[in-house]
Amino acid sequence: MSGINIGVLAVQGDVVENIMATKMAIEELGLDGIVTEVKTPEQISDLDGLIIPGGESTVIGTLSLVNGSLKKIKEKIASGMPVFGICAGMIMLSKKAKDRVVGEMDQPLLDFLDVKIERNTFGRQKDSFESEISMDKIGIKKFQGVFIRAPSILEAGKDVEILSKFNEKIIAVKQGNIIGTAFHPELTGDLSLHKYFVNLIKAKH
């Protein structure tokens, strides 16, 4: 069996950080695999797993629609490819998103994660914060949550497993092979969540 092939969607946002974190996670797990930037449908079609990083969800959505990546990602997720959406990436994976101030938005979404998301739920950049959170269900007792203009989940469907809450707000979820977090593990140096995702891909591989 060949090594696993993980891509980080490189349309916009903090791509390099996720590539580094995933590479280190693979190495620490002693696995064989590669991690690359992906932008085109061709690059995406070869993947065993995909990370959609933080950035601006409106930008990532609009631009991955333009070159056909969005459609390819949809096909891959529908066929069971594990995917990890971080902040903007989680918004991209959702069925429904609205902004706390502006309200309903007409932005391209992948329409998989059965949740209703509120964008910028904690306020603007000045209200961005760090706080220690936990994801006991997946064996991560302590994790430094870095929330940057972060979203939260207002409602989750019955197939959605809630992994973490911050002050009653849902901030991390799992639905089958889809993981979404409102916070940025790639900015912390803590690889536990990336390792969890790599293991999910390996189990599927």
Active site residues: 87, 184, 186
The piece of 63-71, 155-163, 173-181, 196-204 that touches other proteins (CB under 8 A) is: 63-71
Pick the piece of the chain touching other proteins (CB under 8 A) from 42-50, 54-62, 173-181, 196-204: 54-62
Confirm if 38 and 9 have CB atoms less than 8 A apart: yes
In the complex, the smallest distance separating the C-beta of residue 129 from other proteins, rounded to whole angstroms, is 4
DSSP-H helix ranges across the chain = 15-28, 41-45, 57-66, 69-78, 88-93, 192-204
Residue 125 interacting with other proteins (CB under 8 A): yes
**Contact (Cβ atoms closer than 8 angstroms) between residue 192 and residue 175:** no
Point out which span in 25-33, 94-102, 172-180, 195-203 binds other proteins (CB under 8 A): 94-102
133 binds other proteins (CB under 8 A): yes
CB nearer other proteins, residue 72 or residue 202: 72
CA dihedral defined by 158, 161, 165, 170, rounded to 10 degrees?
A: -50
8 A C-beta contact, residue 51 and residue 86: yes
Report the C-alpha gap between 111 and 66 in whole angstroms. Answer: 17
Residues touching other proteins, count (CB under 8 A): 46
Report d(CA 23, CA 67) in Å as an integer: 27
Q: Which is nearer to other proteins, 20 or 154 (CB)?
A: 20
Determine which residue in the list 6, 7, 12, 90 makes contact with other proteins, applying CB under 8 A.
Answer: 12
Amino acid letter, 83: V
Backbone angles phi, psi at 130, to 5 degrees: -115, 140
Per-position b or e across 159-175, b if 16+ CB within 10 A of its CB: ebeebbebeebbbbbbb
Nearer to other proteins, 191 or 200 (CB): 191
Segment interacting with other proteins, rule: CB under 8 A, options 53-61, 75-83, 153-161, 191-199: 53-61
Contacts with other proteins, residue ranges (CB under 8 A): 10-17, 20, 39, 54-56, 58-59, 62-63, 66-67, 87-88, 99, 101-102, 105, 119-120, 123-133, 146, 148-149, 166-168, 184, 187
